[in-house]
Amino acid sequence: HLSQSQQLHGFCDAGCGGVGGDASSRILVKGGTVVNAYHKEIADVYVEDGIIVDVRPNIMVDDEVTVIDATGKYVMPGGIDPHTHLAMDFMGTQTIDNFFSGQAAALAGGTTMHIDFVIPVNGNVSAGYELYTKKAEKSVMDYGFHMAITKWDEQVSEDMEVMVKEKGINSFKFFLAYKGSLMVSDESLIYGMEKCKSLGALTMVHAENGDAVAEGQKRMIDLGITGPEGHALSRPPVLEGEATARAIRLANFVNTPLYVVHVMSIDAMHEIAKAKESGQRVIGEPVISGLSLDDSWLWESDFITAAKYVMSPPIRASGHDKVLQNALSSGILQLVGTDHCTFNSTQKAFGINDFRKIPNGVNGIEERMHVVWNVMVESGQISVTDYVRVTSTECARVFNIYPQKGAIQPGSDADIIVLNPNASFEINASTHHSRSDTNVYEGRKGKGKVEVTISRGRIVWKNGKLNVEAGSGRYIPMRPFGYLFDGIEKKDAEYLSSLRAPVQRFKASA
Ligand code: URP
Ligand code: ZN
Ligand code: ZN
Ligand code: ZN
């Protein structure tokens, strides 16, 4: 519910310190419980010019400083969403949230940074980067980019190098599904993994077997199943498990770390658990829809209600959600994304006669922080510190921007939220900030509300009001060779030395 003038200029009735509260360069967040990923304490947080300057009890300031009373509340790093699709051209249309509306929604929900997937233009990586740089011009908060790789050739390989060395990208996503559009072959995946490894960039996979999905879809159509339930039936968990296992084994073969996006099933989670057990570096990202919803909605008789739950991999049968929660609380899965990829009712209706044409994707960028709090912390499954780890800090570590992001400590960017554990949230399409007319969390209520969001030292959300400015968001470059790469050369050396004997035997016999 942002008006056009709000879209162009932002708006400033947030009561956040009078004239130009948004411009207030000095803020004191007073008396709250400051929570980091591994520690919490009651302290004040003092911010100057977008940076956290001091964190300790009883900080004294002059009258010019904007003071936010956080007594009895949690003061935490703003959420970082590792997985979004804003203004993405997909399945014959474009996601309804762009870098303005999607980010405004994020800020209203306590997320202060996201990493979006650049989609190459007809496979062209550089063109994709240019296009997304334009798309992101109206940004109202900080953001970074992953790059998708949708074909393989020498140019793509060279462009990947440019992306890492000059453009601040340190992760590349390979789709093993979406046959005929984004999907790549195992051959391309292997070349891509080798290139990623040489650049110190993280390989990410969308893990579903796209060939089998196409076959499953044909099966449903032949049976006359054309509604949204056909989407889930055509791509069962076994296809997610297969692709996850395959990607993990290929990453093992290449000896490079792997990040599995949107882990939606027990099957995929088990493959990640097994890999971790054997010492392989695999990061599993559940998304909030997979952690908190089940597929019963897909059987709703009202098409639009059912279609809004269509995403890939599908939201699974009841039971998968709880096991994914367990995996998150025990560390098998490490950080939570959204896969925010929103289409409105009109767009979802493209598939009214054929589920294969329903644009895939659900909302979540505004809801993630509240739903994770509700499902994981309120239920007692994770601690408040773990909440910060899975919603913010771990993402910053994996993508090598910690502690600029993901921490409340001197020197970090002032991306801060104040969460009141005793206030309540309620989610409705009529009050959310996404441009979509529907919400997959419609009617969900719970305790724990983000009351204040500070984005790089600007109070952007307070008293239920947004105060954002188009163009104020910054691109955050991410450096290669994050912690996941530490020591992998030792395993390479071990492998090479294991080949010495067979090579010598070969030479001797030649
Ligand atoms: O359904 C989904 N997930 N849409 C977004 C594209 C992707 O696969 O991440
Ligand atoms: Zn203001
Ligand atoms: Zn995906
Ligand atoms: Zn996605």
The DSSP string of 171-194 is: EEEEES-STTTTB--HHHHHHHHH
- The gap between the terminal CA atoms of the chain, to the nearest Å, is 75
* Ligand 1 atom 3: residue of nearest CA: 312
Contact between 288 and 364 under an 8 Å Cβ cutoff? The reply is yes
234 HSE (CA, 13 A, CB side): 30
d(CA 294, CA 232): 11
Q: Determine whether the shortest distance from the Cβ of 195 to ligand 1 is under 6 A.
A: no
Copy the structure tokens of residue 192: 């891509």
Which of 89, 288, 339 to mutate for ligand 1's pocket (most ligand atoms within 8 Å of CB)? 339
Would you say residue 303 lies in a domain?
A: no
Protein residue with least CA distance to atom 7, ligand 1? 312
Centre of ligand 1 from the C-alpha of residue 342, in Å: 10
Taking the alpha carbons of 261, 265, 267, 273 in that order, is the dihedral positive or negative?
Answer: positive
Rounded distance from Cα 197 to ligand 3 centre (Å): 21
Query: Is 206 a domain residue?
Result: yes
Report the nearest atom of ligand 1 relative to the CA of 312.
1
Calpha distance 67→179 (Å, rounded): 54
- Counting from 1 in the atom list of ligand 1, the atom nearest the Cα of 175 is 8
Query: Letter for the amino acid at 419?
Result: L
How, if at all, do strands 51-56 and 258-260 pair? unpaired
Candidates 507, 459, 487; CA nearest to 112 is 459
* 148 ligand 1 Cβ < 6 A: no
Residue numbers of the domain that contains 216: 1-82+96-293+313-344+363-510
Strand, helix or coil at 19? coil
CB of 206 closer than 6 A to ligand 1? yes
Q: Is residue 509 part of a domain?
A: yes
What pLDDT does 19 receive?
Answer: 34
Taking only the tens of pLDDT, the chain with its 510 residues reads 454 334 433 443 333 333 334 446 999 999 999 999 999 999 999 999 999 999 999 999 999 999 999 999 999 999 999 999 999 999 999 999 999 999 999 999 999 999 999 999 999 999 999 999 999 999 999 999 999 999 999 999 999 999 999 999 999 999 999 999 999 999 999 999 999 999 999 999 999 999 999 999 999 999 999 999 999 999 999 999 999 999 999 999 999 999 999 999 999 999 999 999 999 999 999 999 999 999 999 999 999 999 999 999 999 999 999 999 999 999 999 999 999 999 999 999 999 999 999 999 999 999 999 999 999 999 999 999 999 999 999 999 999 999 999 999 999 999 999 999 999 999 999 999 999 999 999 999 999 999 999 999 999 999 999 999 999 999 999 999 999 999 999 999 999 999 999 999 999 998
Q: Is 488 exposed, middle or buried (0-12, 13-18, 19+ CB in 10 A)?
A: middle
**Is 357 contained in some domain?**
no
Residue 51 located in a structural domain:
yes
* Amino acid identity, position 279: G
- pTM (whole model) above 0.90: yes
| Pocket of ligand 1 contains residue 240 by CB under 6 Å | no
Q: Provide the pairing of β-strand 202-206 with 171-175.
A: parallel
pLDDT of residue 337: 98
Q: How far is the CA of 85 from the centre of ligand 4 (A)?
A: 6
Distance 387 CA to ligand 3 centre (A): 24
Q: Which residue from 169, 81, 146 is spatially nearest to 415, judged by alpha carbons?
A: 81
| CB of residue 308 inside a 6 A radius of ligand 1 | no
Tell whether ligand 1 has an atom less than 6 A from the beta carbon of residue 311. Answer: yes
Q: Which of 384, 474, 350 is nearest to 96 (CA)?
A: 350
Specify whether the CB–CB gap between 403 and 409 falls below 8 A: yes
For residue 311, the CA-to-ligand 4 centroid distance in Å is: 9
Residues in a beta bridge with 291:
none
Please count the other Cβ atoms lying within 10 Å of the Cβ belonging to residue 333.
25
Number of domains in the chain: 1
pLDDT at 510: 83
Q: Where are the alpha helices (DSSP H) in 344-411?
A: 345-348, 368-372, 384-388, 394-398
Spatial distance between the Cα atoms of 298 and 303, rounded to a whole number of angstroms: 9
CATH of the domain at 455: 3.20.20.140
Question: Could you say which ligand is closest to the alpha carbon of residue 12?
Answer: 2
Instruction: For residue 26, give both structure tokens.
Output: 């000095």
Domain assignment present for 301? no
Q: What is the largest CA-CA distance in the chain?
A: 85
Q: How many alpha carbons fall within 13 Å on the CB side of residue 48? A: 8
Closest CA to 12 of 26, 25, 23: 23
The answer as to whether 257 is a domain residue is yes
Residue 481: count of CB within 10 angstroms of its CB: 14
For residue 307, being part of any structural domain is answered with no
Q: Is the CB of 436 under 6 A from ligand 1?
A: no
What is the predicted pLDDT for the residue at 2? 53
Count the helix, strand and coil residues of the chain and give each as a percent rounded to the nearest 5: 40, 25, 40
Give the atom of ligand 1 at the shortest distance from the alpha carbon of 206.
Answer: 8
ipTM rounded to 2 decimals: 0.92
- Cα–Cα–Cα angle for 420, 421, 423, nearest 5°? 65
Question: Residue 297 is encoded by which pair of tokens?
Answer: 């909605």
